Structures are given as C-alpha cells and as structure tokens.
Amino acid sequence: MASKAVYLHRDPMLKKRDDFEDILEERRRSSDLRYALRCYTPLLYKGLTPFRADELKTMVLQSDQLQYVINQVSKQTSVTADEVEAEAAAILEEMAHHLQISTIRFFAFVLSKVFKTLFRSVCVNEEGVQRLQQAIQEHPVVLLPSHRSYMDFLLMSYILYTYDLPLPVIAAGMDFMGMKIVGEMLRMSGAFFIRRSFGGDKLYWAVFSEYVRVMVKIGFAPVEFFLEGTRSRTAKSLTPKLGLLNIVMEPFLKGELFDVSLVPVSISYERVLEEVLYARELLGVPKPKESTSGLFKARKVLSEDYGSIHVYFGQPVSVRSLAEGRVNRSQFNLMPRHIPRKPGEEVQSFVNDSAYRLVRAQEENMVLKPWVLLAVLLLQDQAAGDGRGTSLDELTERAVWLRDLCRQFGAFLHWPDHMIPSQVVSSSLSLHRGLVRISEGRVQLALDQAGAEARRPLGAATPEEELLNRAVIVLSCASYRNQALHVFIRPALLASAIQTASSNQKQDVYNSFSFLRNMFSNEFILSPGAAVQDFEEACYLLVKSGALQINQQEVLVTETGQKTLTFLTSSLDPFLQGYQMVCRFLCEEASEGLTEKRFVPAIRKFIVQHLLTGRLRHAEVLSSDLQKNALAALLRLGAVRKLRGRGEEQLEVNKVMVNSLEDTLGGNLPTQKAVVARL
C-alpha cells in the first residue's frame, strides 16, 4: 500500500521534467516600477466567496470548533467564556496576516532590484505554474516549498505575483516578529505568525488550527507552509512536521471539501545566502537573533554572486487520491465534526506517509548543479587524502563518471552538456572560490585559508579554533554535497549493507540494509515502514547501473560495480562514523545527569578531542545536526531513554544496547542479530 504512494517502479532516467524560464530576464529589460504597479488580476478558486481579512477573523472566532474549545477552557479554568474568547481574539490578532496588495507591490519593486544584484537568474518551470493556476481554480491549494533560506517565502510570493496567481498566506515562525518593521511588512505580505512552541496550550492550538482550516475551507488564498518546519541548515531535507499538514488535510477528511491540492515546490539555490552562517550555527557559534539591524548588516551579502535559483512547481497532489484506500472517512460519522479529536492511528500514519511522500517530491525536483558533484568528490578526497589535493584532470574525469551515475539514478542534474567537462568544472569551482583552493593544477578544500579573516590579528589561534575554522569550510561544502544525498541514499545504504552483511544472501543483505535504514531514518528522508520498497528501489538502481547482479538468493557485486559501491559507501562514511562517535560518547562519557541540552556541548568537546588526536578524520561529525539526529535515533530505538526527574529530563543510556549498536554500525557482525531482533 505504502509502496504505491512512495515509490513507483519506473526508470528514473525517464522522469520527465519541465523546462525553466528565467523571470529576471524580463526584469532586466523593463521597468521594475511599472512591473510593481501593473494590473494584477489573478484567477481565483471557483468556489471562493470573497472575504476581507477582518471578516475572516470573525469567522474564526465564531466557528463551532473554536466556540467549543472556548467553552471547554472556560469550564476547566473557571474563567468566563467571554474572557477566554477575548484571549482567543488576542491570539488571533497576534497571529493573523494582513495581506495587502500594496505591500506586495512594494516587495515586487524592491525584490526585483535585490534579486538582480544577487542572482544571475531566477528560473521557474512555467508548466508547473500553469498546473498550479489550474489547480487553484479547482480546489483550495496548499503550497509546500522546501526551506533552505529566509528568501524562500518572499521569493514564492514574488513568483506568484509575477505570474498573476493569487498571493499565498504563509505560516511563519514567530522569530520574525522580533524584527518590528520587517515583521509587520511580512504580515502585510501575507505571513501569519505561529509561536514556535505552544505545548499544551489548547486555546492557542484551537485558534491556530481553526484559522488555517477556515482559510483552506473557504479557499481564501493558497496556504503556504514549510513541511520541514524550519530552514534546513544542512541542505538535507528535514523530517517533515505533521501539525500543519494534518490541519490542511482535515477539511477533506471530514468531508467539508471535495479535495485539497498539495503542491510541492522545490527551491534550489546555487549558493545559499546563509551558507557560512549555517555552518557556524551547526558548530555551535550561536545563531544571531533575527533582528532588523542584523538583516541590514547583511548588506555585504549584496556584493556577492549567488548564482542562480531554480524554483520547480511540482505536480499538484490531490489529498483525495492520496487518501483513497488509505483512510476510511466514515470514521468521522459518529461524532460532531467540530469537537476536536486527536487523529486516530490510521489518519496519523496516513498524514505521516503523505508528508514523506511530499518531501520526497520536493527532493526529486531539486536542481543539482555540477558543483554539488564536485563537493561530493572533494569531501571524500579530503577525508581520505594526504592534503595534496586532486588534480583538475582527475577531478573532471571523476565528475563525469559521477554525472552519469547520477543521471542513472534519476537526479535532476543541470549539467551544461554543450560545454566541455573541464570548463564546467572550472567555472563551478570559481563560483565557490571561498571554499576551494586551486594551486598547481590541484584542487582541494580551502581549509588552510579558512578563517583567515576571522583569525585574531595578534597571536596564533588555538588548535581548537583552527579546527573549528576548518570545520566551517567542511560543513559549508557538505551542505552542497547534501543536496545530492537523496539521489544516493538508498543505493548507499545498500552498498554499506553489502559490505557489512554476514553473507551475500539476499536476506542477510536485507537485514543489514534494514538495520542501517532504521538507524538513519532521522538523518535522511526514509518513509517509515517502507524498508522493503526502499530495498527494492536500491537494488533496482544498482542492477540497472550494472553494479550488482541479483538473483533469487544472492546479491553479487560485478567487476565494474566495485567502484560504484566504494564511492557509495564513502559517501555514507561521515554519517556512519558520526553515529559511532555518538554511541561511543554515550558509553564512555555520559555521566549521571546528562540532559538533552547538555548533550551537544559535551559531545562536541569529545569529538574535538578525537579530531585533534587524529583518531577521527571527518570534521563533519562536529555538526550538531548529525549529533542530534543520532541521539533522536537512539531515543527512538530505546537505547537511550528520557527520565523524568526533578527539573529537566535526564538521559538514561542503555550501555549494552548502545555498545552493540556501535559495533553493528562499524560492521561488527556477531552482535548484529541480537540488535536487529530488538529493533
């Protein structure tokens, strides 16, 4: 069942994708002012009854759902219903957007200028835009862009304005509200603000969910939010958050709408504005609070070349077809629909699977630039190498090999075939000259010049500081490599499984695969419960590329396949080693009273030691993202537990289990069976 939803067995090479148009081209030719003031008459949802933003608020406050919760809260807290309603109104006030076309016009003007300075092009698949336009008229639409940059949602609104589509209302994190003017500007351009956490606040949840639901139900405007919940600092897709998806699907599931269209949108940046910021953040340099002045300091950013952006509007996904045969909608028949109810298991797993499917759809339509492939190779060389770098010729040759492999795996690779490969390589490198160093025809990561500017003017940096500076470069580079990981992840898991499995029996390989997949399912987008499909997909790809032969019983590596497998296992290497490090830390160093909050600084110290002593080569392991994912996996598997004590929750480590997981990750076989059994 899930297999149908997640993976269709068809040749990825045949995946048809639309062509792109550069929307900046027109901007470079005609007046931005006229563009910002032009007549804007989008085609709207056919079932729309027009409402003003304030009418919308009244509708929300008056809705059966919200009234029900207001009365409930009032009874439970013995505060009068009127007061609770006033509180609800205040929440709504804080939350609600104030979409105004004038603000959009302002942004249209400013962004035109900004985009033209920053980017070479902003490319959009116009067929996707047309599909979207169609979808908007048919059913309420939910836009689901990938999230890599602050830029994302302004960019989305800008594009929709450009194509005369209705402007979206956007669920944004509260952190923007810190920036007074900008916050209000964003509100007027359609953003509505949600607190980052509102735990058990029933009223808040009720207001928020009803607000979104009403907008979906009446088709007020396309609702936009980020499935990943926050910007991915690593350029890997994040495990989807389900709250909002649940809310926007509900009107369909409860029969209040015939259908809802979900439109995954993939936004790929050739260079992310936040590149270095992210790396610092992952290394524990605290994230600058998003203040207005901070944003304006970013003016320096304006002087750089960020290449191009590709925005791909995916195929609209009908919630109705997703739910077909998955959700029995009559489960809502026996209770009034306005009484809030936790979604049942069936609905939860449906929403979860859908979310994964949508994130995968985002991944599939992410444009990969040749540089991404170079980043893959340079990082591998750096970890393995002698510090001498790779010769340009060799790099080019391997890049071409990798290009072909990628294509076989169905990647959406923008490799300019009209250019000779060496040219492609050198022009890619030049856009990222902050990250690479080329000397005497050899290329490597620019580790030694790293932090040159940050280095204290007086006195040498400590070894640790030097290490962190190098790690900034490594992580920045990794964020490019990560863009391509979704292409390789399943074959890479299979390659590693083959390496660690006790035999080449298909069943053994599958067991190893399934173990690794389970282990890494907080790290990569791997739909829960789809182990078999993922295995089949991986087998299919590797057989097709000639690396494997698989018969009834056995999985055999072909002569030429070894190269592919080695490549694939190395790409997983930093993660394997990282997870092992986390395990080792927990076994060796975790003391009484370790909390989740103290976990990251503590393990960072541990890893720094290992890196400095040369016992660990992958500086990437310093990424707090990886560390947290590993911990989440261990928690999920029950190897670590959270203990409720006084104050913060403490982490209780099951050392036997963690130890055996570490062994198994390291390809140490004997304990594997026991662990797999326990999983």
Partner 1 sequence: MASNSSDRQRVAQHRLRIITGHLQRPADGDADIQAAECKAQETKPNVASSEGRTMPRRRQEIMKWNGWGYSDSKFLYNKKGQAEFTGKRYKLSGLIIPALKDWMEGTFGASLQHKTPATPILNTSAVQPPTLNEAFVDEIKSTGIPFSHDPEDRVFRAHGHCLHEIFALREGKIGRVPDMVIWPSCHNDVVKIVELACKHNVCLIPFGGGTSVSSALECPPEETRTIVSLDTSQMNRILWIDEKNLTAHVEAGIIGQDLERLLNESGYCTGHEPDSMEFSSLGGWVATRASGMKKNIYGNIEDLVVHVKMVTPRGVIEKGCQGPRMSTGPDIHHFIMGSEGTLGVVTEVTMKIRPIPEYQKYGSVVFPNFEQGVACLREVARQRCAPASIRLMDNEQFQFGHALKPQVSSIFTSFLDGLKKFYITKFKGFDSNRLCVATLLFEGDREKVLQHEKQVYDIAAKFGGLAAGEDNGQRGYMLTFVIAYLRDLGMDYYVIGESFETSVPWDRVLDICRNVKARIVRECKDKGVQFPPLSTCRVTQTYDAGACVYFYFAFNYRGLSDPVHVYEQVEHAAREEILANGGSLSHHHGVGKLRKEWMRETVSDVGLGMIKSVKDYVDPNNIFGNRNLL
CA distance 482 to 269: 13
In this structure, is the dihedral angle defined by the CA atoms of residues 250, 254, 256 and 258, taken in order, positive or negative? positive
Report yes or no: 307 and 270 within 8 Å, Cβ to Cβ. yes
Stretch that binds partner 1, among 2-10, 159-167, 329-337, 502-510 (CB under 8 A): 329-337
Give the amino acid at 256.
E
Is 46 among the residues that bind partner 1 (CB under 8 A)?
no
Distance CA 195, CA 10 (A): 42
Residues 497-536, mask of contacts with partner 1 (x by CB under 8 A): ----------------------------------------
Q: Please report the sign of the dihedral spanned by the C-alpha atoms of residue 287, residue 293, residue 297, residue 302.
A: positive
Stretch that binds partner 1, among 255-263, 387-395, 528-536, 641-649 (CB under 8 A): 255-263
Count, residues near partner 1 per rule CB under 8 A: 11
Per-residue tokens: 232: 């991915």
CB closer to partner 1, 259 vs 465: 259
- Does 552 participate in binding partner 1 (rule CB under 8 A)? no
Per-residue DSSP letter, 368: B
Residue 50 interacts with partner 1 (CB under 8 A): yes or no: no
In the list 38, 195, 241, 337, the residue contacting partner 1 (rule: CB under 8 A) is 337
Q: Does 68 bind partner 1 (CB under 8 A)?
A: no
251/264 with CB nearer partner 1: 251
Per CB under 8 A, the list member of 330, 439, 591, 613 interacting with partner 1 is 330
Considering only 92-100, 111-119, 121-129, 254-262, which stretch makes contact with partner 1 by CB under 8 A?
254-262
The verdict on 11 binding partner 1 (CB under 8 A) reads: no
**176-184, 332-340, 429-437, 513-521 -> range binding partner 1 (CB under 8 A):** 332-340
Which of residues 10, 25, 180, 255 is near partner 1 by CB under 8 A?
255
Interface region with partner 1, contact rule CB under 8 A, candidates 87-95, 325-333, 396-404, 573-581: 325-333
Is residue 404 a contact residue for partner 1 (CB under 8 A)? Answer: no
Nearer Cβ to partner 1, position 336 or 645? 336
Q: Write down the least CB distance from residue 110 to partner 1, Å.
A: 41
Residues 6+ apart with CB under 8 A from 547: 491, 557, 558, 560, 561, 564, 565
Closest approach of partner 1 to the CB of residue 248, in Å = 17
333 is an interface residue for partner 1 by CB under 8 A: yes
Q: Cα dihedral sign for 482, 487, 489, 493? A: negative
Q: Is 35 in the site for partner 1 (CB under 8 A)?
A: no
Among 256, 346, 393, 404, binds partner 1 (CB under 8 A): 256
Q: Is 387 in the site for partner 1 (CB under 8 A)?
A: no
Q: What is the gyration radius of the CA atoms in the chain, in angstroms?
A: 26
Q: Which residues contact 60 (CB under 8 A, 6 or more apart)?
A: 66, 92, 207, 210, 211, 214
CB of 255 to partner 1, least distance (A): 4
- Spatial distance between the Cα atoms of 134 and 201, rounded to a whole number of angstroms: 38
Q: Please identify, among the stretches 18-26, 52-60, 326-334, 389-397, the one whose residues bind partner 1 according to the rule CB under 8 A.
A: 326-334
Are 248 and 142 spatial neighbours (Cβ–Cβ below 8 Å)?
yes
Decide: is 325 part of the binding site for partner 1 (CB under 8 A).
no
Please tell me whether residue 62 binds partner 1 under the rule CB under 8 A.
no
Helices (H), 304-369: 319-323, 345-364
Per rule CB under 8 A, is residue 312 in the interface with partner 1? no
Q: How many residues does the chain have?
A: 679
Min CB(257)–partner 1 separation in Å: 8
Q: Is 341 in the site for partner 1 (CB under 8 A)?
A: no
Is residue 2 within 8 A of residue 63, CB to CB? The reply is no
Residue 593 engages partner 1 in binding (rule: CB under 8 A):
no
Can you give the three-state secondary structure of 18-67, one letter per residue?
CCCEEHHHHHHHCCHHHHHHCCCCCCCCCCCCCCCHHHHHHHHHHCHHHH
Mapped onto helix, strand or coil, the DSSP state of residue 237 is coil
DSSP state of 479: H
Nearer to partner 1, 1 or 677 (CB): 1
Structure tokens at 557: 């590596």
Q: How far apart are CA 614 and CA 675, in angstroms?
A: 30
**Shortest separation between residue 321's beta carbon and partner 1, angstroms:** 10
Q: For residue 554, what is the DSSP state?
A: B
The C-alpha atoms of residue 658 and residue 651 are separated, in whole angstroms, by 13
In this structure, which amino acid lies at residue 424?
Answer: V
CA–centroid distance for 454 within its chain: 29
Tell me which DSSP letter residue 595 carries: B
Q: Smallest gap, in angstroms, from Cβ of residue 317 to partner 1?
A: 15
Least Cβ distance, residue 242 to partner 1 (angstroms): 22
Place of tokens 């389900």: 242
- Could you say whether residue 258 binds partner 1 (CB under 8 A)? yes
Candidates 100-108, 328-336, 510-518, 631-639: pick the segment binding partner 1 (CB under 8 A). 328-336
Does 336 participate in binding partner 1 (rule CB under 8 A)?
A: yes
Binding region for partner 1 (CB under 8 A): 255-256, 258-259, 328-330, 332-333, 336-337
